[in-house]
A and B are shown apart, each in its own frame.
Chain A
């Protein structure tokens, strides 16, 4: 069909779009930062550069992959995703995101996501991943978005005390609160599943992936208190 209209759309002068404020832009950049593990970082970065020079693939050849040590593989997975992702939106910066606790975490790798080989590594080396991330977070006092996603993937619920103590250092990274809620949701923790927060963030049929709670001290304390109680109720290892 022919669309013969040259000027079919409209604007309302009183609804002009506001550029996100500096604080929002800065917080969005902060949210999207990944943590780069130190284990063989230089070697792994060079291998990744080699892959990226080849436009056709995002995957490290198996021979090179197998030559990496366990820790180097961890670094590779944490800084590079081999497969593709598809998103309905490019996840724009939400106005005043620094004042929100979101239901979902941002994408660490844009249009890429972890491949089956990478997820298999996560499953096979769960305890190693917990140990390496714990060491790395303890050193940097930072939980990059790649670590947060990995903690979700491996269901790293034993890391809850570390996550809370990291959050409490400066109360800045509200995605840690998001991560705590995702862990409670994924582990079907009843007090959370029956809460108003869960309903607003995850259970409403109209809920979109951009659902959020407004940040305030009461919300913050409630999430931390619930996550702590959830953690304390977990079976402890021998």
Chain B
């Protein structure tokens, strides 16, 4: 095999060759997080559960929101929001965390982002299974056919989050500002996305503008499928799919454009 360092091999092929590294790094993330922690996964659940309880109490008893079974509505979107939130914060440190590795071994840097996404996804899938069980038992009492769309929604969620995380990760290597700006951005996104209120409450006039935020579309899809238990409008599904794919390919292209200089920046 002759490897010419000057040429850029197809990035997909590079990632495929580094799949063993990807798997090992994802395992490492989970091991480091859960070892010597007696409550382990409970901590991962506790934080969102407490937030959910507070939101649920406030919007059921204080600000009376017109959503029946409000807790079920919250539950159907909150873990997705939580996943996106954690991925966006990961973006600000994942490349810096492995600076030593990047300077001493040649491997496609996106493996670092992908392994962070993979280990987080493992946790999300467990959370989703629990959410499904609770919703089935206490909200639907029957299995809605719309649940069949879940794999597609998870796939869109992965594309969307990677599309946002990859360019952000690159940007945060060049500018520390990303790290400082992230809490504010996440706070704004929290209110600008249908996390604790349904998108249908957004005034008709600004709804077009509102759905420019791709997270709003994704969360609404989850609400339709999990909470309402019905198939979402085809236009919404197509829109979110197009937006996620576009974001992913643009984000990955930006990442690939700049990743060769990453090793030179510490």
The answer to whether A binds B is no
Contacts from B to A (Cβ < 8 Å): none
